[in-house]
Amino acid sequence: MEKKAFQKIYTKITQITKATCSLKATGVGYDELATVNGQLAQVVKIIGDTITLQVFSGTEGIPTNAEVIFLGHPPTLKVSDDLAGRFLDAYGNPMEGGSEVTGEERQIGGPSVNPVRREQPSELIATGIAGIDLNNSLVTGQKIPFFADPDQPFNQVMAMVALRAQADKIILGGMGLSNDDYLYFKNVFDNAGALDRIVSFVNTTEHPPVERLLVPDMALTAAEYFASDKKQKVLVLLTDMTLYADALAIVSNRMDQIPSKDSMPGSLYSDLAKIYEKAVQFPDGGSITIIAVTTLSGGDITHAIPDNTGYITEGQLFLRRDSEIGKVIVDPFRSLSRLKQLVIGEQTREDHPQVMNAAVRLYADASNARTKLENGFDLTDYDERTLNYAKEYSNQLLAIDVNIDTEKMLDIAWKLFSKHFTKAEVGIKEEMVKKYWPEDNQEN
Amino acid sequence: MVPFKFEGQYKVKSIVKAGEYTIKDKIAVLTGKDGKETEVTMVQKWPVKIPIRTYKEKPRPFKLMETGVRVIDTLNPITEGGTGFIPGPFGCGKTVLQHALSKQAEADMVIVAACGERANEVVEIFKEFPELEDVRTGRKLIERTTIIANTSNMPVAAREASVYTAMTIAEYYRSMGLKILLLADSTSRWAQALREMSNRMEELPGPDAYPMDLPAIISNFYARAGFVYLNNGKSGSVTFIGTVSPAGGNLKEPVTESTKKAARCFYALSQQRADSKRYPAVDPIESYSKYLEYDEVQKYVAEHISEQWLDHVTKAKDILLRGKEVSEQINILGDDGVPVEYHVTFWKSEIIDFIILQQDAFDKVDQSTPIERQKYMLNKILDICDMSFNFDSFEDVAQYFKRIINNLKQMNYSEWQSDDFKKYEEELTSILKERKAE
């Protein structure tokens, strides 16, 4: 940051914690950037003329007489088509050299779109994964997280969804990514030849944790540029929001705030909502869709982070390892997409809602039968058939390595129905059965 | 109306003629006892956190409020001026149930407080309600609906205020002698806003980090609902139904517990029913309506529905409870480990479940059931439950009752007393004859 003439330089820091420092200054705004000893910092608290700065890279090595210069503006990002294909750090600077991004400078973290200026989300996002497309269809303008345990392959699934979705731009916000995962995303996007429609803002575990607080706002500012100015369909991937929330907790803890539930800051709900509510469908065609990852500890969804997230997002996706088939599946019971009603049966084939419900209901019968088996009861013929059906349903439709279009998924479901069940057991509306029940391999 | 803050006696000195005026036009001039004149417009300012108490009397609620939702009207009815709450984990259909209430309830005005809601859900109301017709008046639903749109990204203080704003608007209309239904979705988010603000003010946290006075705040809020007689002899009411979304569906958390103390009706949504797609997923055994114990309500029901109605409702509840107990025994002992009679008892409760409790919110006919029709169907079903049947094995029981249920379901889907309805009813009579024991 170059120094300008007549710039006020403060040199007396009154208090330093691990992530923040305080000093007396006037004429400073909330969220304003500053440099402390040449390192970037942001105003997070103002009491009278006492200003608290959050130093992104940590406060190690900052002396009490360090030079503090206020820059007079909140963090900004330069937006232009130049962004495409770039890997940027949390400040919007290129990660591995390369030229600076040029373009219009915009403040990050602005307000989200007013509900009366929004359009109802209505366009299906096809991912080819039946656990998503068939049971939990995604819609443009939706916000939905994966609730996953750290050992599950959520980054892989997310990269797959991103590449298959017909989005004009994919924006990756990586928070606390391990370097390996960062390279994984880079390779996958590179190999797919999709680099020109991808923008990445990455904070890896090698960077200071507090820096990652900037990542979602950076990613969403870029997304807003493409969706609003360029009317493009933008998909934003945020991984991992739990680490983002942890960074919030670090800062609030250092500022002596009283911790709320699970040691999280009291404002967690507002902080998360500010990010997720940026998902929007504009009337003129542009849209921002957010797919995030929230890692759970031991599958506990009552923890403050997943709990607050669940209030804000439009559903959640669960991954689970199915030991019967040895593959990871999208859990049909716990996963939910709240916006699927807007598209299924409307943009997909008419039988979609009924087939979806029937398939899940029969799968539920299978899990009842499994409980019966475990408790040592005899299985009826129907129970046996549901178990066989469940295995094939899991393998051919729920597994995340499936890649087919929705019509094909529905056809497979009908085939499984006719193979294992009678029409009455499936219980779908008569006219649909007449139209789609495959007669050739009918056994009953 | 004369501004609520006026106290004492005033005389109307002049008033404008009937016609069209903007809200800021001078409507009347009032003269006080001291001879001071005040001009009155149609605008009033009122602090939202203070209740409007310009009524003469607030009796216990006694009139039933028809909602068209069977599981509420028949089993656990709410009254005009009553309070209720709907707790349930994510994805159990809280919002769908509230939308159904806002569309069908017998109210002059519906006020929806979308408190910390998802913007896309608010957009849904904006887009849908101007299209939908109010079945009672034939006009568009949006004309009787006020929406307080507070999306989750808005400031936390706005979220806290949103439910008070909604309540104040409701009280304002109540003072005009109207029947108001106030829905808040969700009060948990409101409680979270209280938590966030108390945290910011550095108050020491109570249970789950909520403020210590959370139960008091919640019960004060619920107390603002009610049925009132106004000073001019008319009556008005604010009926309040809030949703609560407990973390992970655990009903033992502070917001649910405090609300349970304040609200008189409890509609528990159960994850299990939602998983098996039994919508609306209101648990018939956990839920309750305290109003059924009120003498006033009992008298009102006897006069307006029928003398036996309450006995019938109690009977239906008993059948459901017995059905649940029996089904647990069947699960433990196995299908053939219990007498055939047990299966019959279980399936009788399933009839009530499928025909009364379950309701298709997306079907044109089934979505709203007038009380007259509910009464007819309940009588019909209780008659069936009173019959005894001849069965040889438990497998026959399920088959037979599934046919009965299917027939009754088709009746639910048919227009009231239409040819289809009567056709299915006749079919039902002949099915019943097949196995009826004398």
Q: What is the DSSP string of B249-282?
A: G-TTSHHHHHHHHH-SEE--B-HHHHHTT-SS-B
pLDDT digits (tens, 9 = 90+) for A75-97: 999 999 989 888 999 988 898 77
A350 by DSSP, 3-state: which?
coil
Collapse the DSSP code of A22 into the 3-class scheme (helix H, G, I; strand E, B; otherwise coil) and give the result.
strand
Q: What is the pLDDT of residue A257?
A: 84
Which of these, B287, B252, B329, B234, lies nearest to B84 by C-alpha position? B287
The complex's ipTM works out to 0.77
Q: Please report the DSSP string for B194-253 in residue order.
A: HHHHHHHTTPPP-GGG--TTHHHHHHHHHTT-EEEEETTS-EEEEEEEEEE--GGG-TTS
Q: Do A269 and B149 touch (CB under 8 A)?
A: no
User: Given an 8 Å threshold on Cβ–Cβ distance, is A120 in contact with B127?
Assistant: yes
Q: In this complex, which of A266, A301, A364 lies closest to B195 when CB atoms are compared?
A: A266
Cβ–Cβ below 8 Å for A118 and B119: yes
Name every chain B residue with its beta carbon within 8 A of the beta carbon of A357. 277
Of A120, A269, A361, Cβ closest to residue B124: A120
Q: Of the candidates B281, B298, B274, which has an alpha carbon nearest to the alpha carbon of residue B71?
A: B281
Q: Do B118 and A274 touch (CB under 8 A)?
A: no
Query: How many angstroms away from the CA of A378 is the closest CA of chain B?
Result: 9
Contact A267 B151 (CB under 8 A): no
Would the CB atoms of B204 and A301 count as touching at under 8 Å? no
Cβ–Cβ under 8 Å, residues A336 and A315: yes
C-alpha distances (whole Å) from B293 to each of A47, B61, B298 are 55, 12, 7
Question: From CA B324, how far away is CA B307, in angstroms rounded?
Answer: 28
Three-class secondary structure of residue B21 per DSSP? coil
Q: Any idea where the domains of chain A sit in the sequence? A: 13-70, 76-340, 352-436
Assign a CATH topology to domain A76-340: Rossmann fold (3.40.50)
**Among candidate residues B164, B184, B18, B199, the one with its CA nearest the CA of residue B87:** B184
* Cβ neighbours for B81, distance < 8 A, ≥ 6 positions apart: B61, B63, B225, B226, B227, B228, B237, B238, B239
Judged by a CB distance cut-off of 8 A, whether residue B272 touches chain A is no
Helix (H, G, I), strand (E, B) or coil at A52: strand
pLDDT tops 50 at residue A258: yes
In the predicted model, is pLDDT for residue A398 greater than 80?
yes
Q: Does B20 touch chain A (CB under 8 A)?
A: no
Q: Which residue has the higher pLDDT, A287 or B99?
A: A287
Q: What is the pLDDT of residue A387?
A: 93
Q: Does A111 touch chain B (CB under 8 A)?
A: yes
What's residue B167's pLDDT? Answer: 96
- Strand A124-125 vs strand A198-204: parallel, antiparallel, or unpaired? unpaired
Beta-sheet pairing, B10-15 with A336-337: unpaired
Residue B271: the pLDDT is: 83
Check if the beta carbon of residue B366 is closer than 8 Å to that of residue B374.
no
Residues from chain A that touch B276, judged by Cβ atoms under 8 A, are: 361, 364
pLDDT given at position B152: 87
Q: Tens digit of pLDDT for each residue in A325-374?
A: 888 999 988 888 888 888 888 889 988 988 998 898 889 889 888 988 88
Is A442's pLDDT higher than 60?
A: no
Q: Write the pLDDT tens digit of every residue in A195-217.
A: 888 999 999 998 888 889 999 99
Mean pLDDT for all residues in chain B: 90
pLDDT at A1 over 60: no
pLDDT tens-digit series, residues B292-333: 999 999 999 999 999 999 999 999 999 999 999 999 998 888
Axis crossing angle, helix B340-352 with helix B309-333, rounded to the nearest 10: 130
Q: Residue A5: its pLDDT value, please?
A: 67
Map tokens 């129905």 to a residue: A417
Taking contacts as CB-CB distances below 8 angstroms, the residues of chain B near A301 are 247-248
What Cα–Cα distance (Å) separates residue A143 from each residue in A168, A336, B38, B93, B216?
17, 12, 53, 19, 35
Please give the radius of gyration of chain B, using alpha carbons only, rounded to the nearest integer: 25
| Alpha-carbon gap, residue A144 to A291, rounded angstroms | 5
Domain annotation for chain B: domains and CATH numbers? 10-40 (no CATH), 55-292 (3.40.50.300), 309-435 (1.10.1140.10)
**CATH 3.40.30 at A13-70, yes or no:** no
**A261-271 residue pLDDT tens:** 888 998 899 89
Tokens of A345: 């049966």
What per-residue confidence (pLDDT) applies to A443?
A: 46
Work out the angle between the directed axes of helices B371-386 and B309-333 (0-180°, nearest 10). Answer: 50
Note the pLDDT tens digit of each residue in B37-71: 889 999 999 999 999 998 999 999 999 999 999 99
The minimum CA-CA distance between A252 and chain B, rounded to whole Å, is: 11
For an interface test with B, the pick among A147, A312, A339 (most B C-beta atoms closer than 10 Å) comes out as A312
User: Is B271 part of the contact surface with chain A (CB cutoff 8 Å)?
Assistant: no
Single out the residue of B92, B85, B90, B116 nearest to residue B248, CA to CA: B90
| Residue A228 exposed, middle or buried by CB count within 10 Å (0-12, 13-18, 19+) | middle
Alpha-carbon gap, residue A150 to B314, rounded angstroms: 50
CB atoms within 10 A of CB B133: 11
Q: Is B21 on the interface with A (CB under 8 A)?
A: no
Which of B119, B250, B277 is opposite residue A115, by nearest beta carbon? B119
**pTM of the full predicted structure?**
0.85
Instruction: Determine if residue A298 is left, alpha or beta; phi over 0 gives left, psi from -120 to 50 gives alpha, anything else beta.
Output: left
Taking only residues 324 to 353 of chain A, the set having a beta carbon closer than 8 angstroms to any beta carbon of chain B reads: 333, 336, 338-339
Separation of alpha carbons A263 and B45, rounded Å: 41
When the pLDDT of each residue in chain A is averaged and rounded to a whole number, the result is 89
The answer, for B336 touching chain A at a CB cutoff of 8 Å, is no
Count CA within 13 A, CB hemisphere, residue A84: 14
Q: B248 CA to chain A: closest CA distance, Å?
A: 5
Contact yes or no for B326/B290 (Cβ under 8 A): no
Contact A273 B247 (CB under 8 A): no
CA distance B331 to chain A (A): 9
For an interface test with A, which of B117, B118, B214 has the most A Cβ atoms less than 10 Å from its Cβ? Answer: B118
pLDDT at B217: 95
- CB under 8 Å to A352, separation ≥6 — which residues? A134, A344, A345, A406, A410
Bridge partner list, B57: B229
A314: contact with B, CB 8 A cutoff: yes
Identify the pLDDT of residue B402.
85
Backbone angles phi, psi at B134, to 5 degrees: -80, 115
Helix (H) or strand (E) holding A14: strand A13-16
When scoring A277, A282, A297 by the number of chain B Cβ atoms within 10 A, the one with the most, hence best to mutate, is A277
State whether A112 and B119 contact (CB < 8 Å). yes
Predicted pLDDT at A273: 93
Q: What is the mean pLDDT of each run of 10 residues along chain B (438 residues)?
A: 86 91 91 88 92 93 93 94 89 84 91 90 84 82 91 90 96 95 92 90 88 94 96 94 84 91 92 82 92 93 92 94 92 84 92 91 85 93 92 85 88 90 92 84
Put simply, whether B247 touches A (Cβ < 8 Å) is yes
User: What is the per-residue pLDDT across A6-49, written as a single tens digit (0 to 9) for each?
Assistant: 778 899 999 998 888 999 999 899 889 999 998 999 998 899 99
**A255 vs B: CB within 8 A:** no
Is residue A444's pLDDT more than 70?
A: no
Q: A440 falls in which pLDDT band (50, 70, 90)?
A: low
Nearest residue in chain A measured CA to CA from B249? A302
